[in-house]
């Protein structure tokens, strides 16, 4: 699985150590489309993100959805001190997880949206 928290090749990576990176990858669903959203924030400005991240139940037992064609989510976080990764069943995406994922999707859209930019679809 590609590490979505890693920077794209064409970016400078000199100040990576000062960044908080959160990546969300959604796979599965009947379409089987892979969608990803990513946000990076300088460490001194990351307080709100850390609150969202810490509210999530990272160590709760994993759940598994019955049936078929459910989404599968992967949440990846890199902070200067540590990396975290958790796979979520679609039915687990509620509460604190939902807040974190929605915030990443909103921030990603705000970062990439330009008039006429196909990325605005996300």
Partner 1 sequence: MTLSEPARIVGHMDHSAQAHGIIPAYLLARLAQSGRFTKAADAARQTLLAGRPQFRARLNLSIDEHGDLVAELTDAPNRTISDAGGTETLPGAVVRTEDDGPVDDASVNQAFDGLGATFELLLSAFQRNSLDGLGAPLNATVHYGTDYDNAFWDGERMVFGDGDGEVFRGFTGSVTVIGHELAHGVIQHTANLEYQGQPGALNESIADVFGALTEQYAEGQAADQASWLIGAGIFTDEVQGVALRSMIEPGTAYDDDELGKDPQPAHMSDFVRTTEDNGGVHVNSGIPNRAFALAARALGGNAWERAGTVWYRALSDGLSPTATFREFADATVDAASREYGEEVTAAVRDAWTTVGVLDAEGNRRTG
**Would you tell me which residues interact with partner 1 (CB under 8 A)?**
1, 25, 27-34, 65-72, 74, 90, 118-119, 121-122
For partner 1, give the closer residue by CB, 44 or 115: 115
Distance from C-alpha of 48 to C-alpha of 61, rounded to nearest angstrom: 26
Residue 20 tokens, joined:
């908080």
DSSP 3: -
Distance from C-alpha of 65 to C-alpha of 54, rounded to nearest angstrom: 24
Least gap, CB of 3 to partner 1 (angstroms):
12
Residue with tokens 């990443």: 104
Least gap, CB of 4 to partner 1 (angstroms):
11
Least gap, CB of 72 to partner 1 (angstroms):
6
């Amino acid at each position: 699985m590609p590490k979505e928290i890693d920077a794209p090749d064409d970016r400078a990576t000199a100040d990576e150590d000062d960044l908080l990176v959160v990546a969300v990858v959604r796979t599965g669903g009947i379409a089987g489309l892979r969608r990803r959203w990513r946000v990076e924030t300088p460490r001194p400005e990351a307080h709100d993100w850390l609150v969202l991240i810490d509210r999530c139940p990272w160590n709760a037992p994993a759940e598994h959805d019955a049936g078929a064609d459910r989404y599968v989510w992967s949440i990846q976080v890199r902070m200067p001190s540590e990396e975290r990764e958790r796979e979520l069943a679609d039915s687990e995406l509620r509460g604190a997880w939902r807040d974190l994922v929605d915030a990443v999707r909103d921030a990603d859209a705000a970062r990439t949206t330009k008039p006429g930019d196909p990325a605005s679809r996300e």
